[in-house]
Amino acid sequence: MLVLSRRRDETIVIGDDIQITVVDIRGDKVRLGIQAPFSVGVHRKELREAIERENAQASTIPSMPDLQTGT
């Protein structure tokens, strides 16, 4: 893991098309602005993990029978 120190309004560049800017710092919270192409998914880690858990649970639940076909 690369660890960098940045001040407010300073930016980190990843590759040619991703920029992360420190927008604000208040106490122990840092607000980041992320500029990336639409093809690059940008998600909070805890939200992504929650979605993955829900998807895993949903895949283990037997599906409901189709009311039209009875299957």
**CB 3: neighbour CB atoms within 10 A?**
4
What type of residue is 55? Answer: N
pLDDT digit string, tens, across residues 14-42? 999 999 999 999 999 999 999 999 999 89
Domain residue spans of the chain: 11-60
Residue 46 to residues 1, 6, 22, 51, 68: CA-CA distances in angstroms? Answer: 18, 23, 20, 9, 39
pLDDT band at 59 (very low <50, low <70, confident <90, very high): confident
What are the CA-CA distances from residue 38 to residues 16, 23, 29 (Å)?
Answer: 14, 21, 26
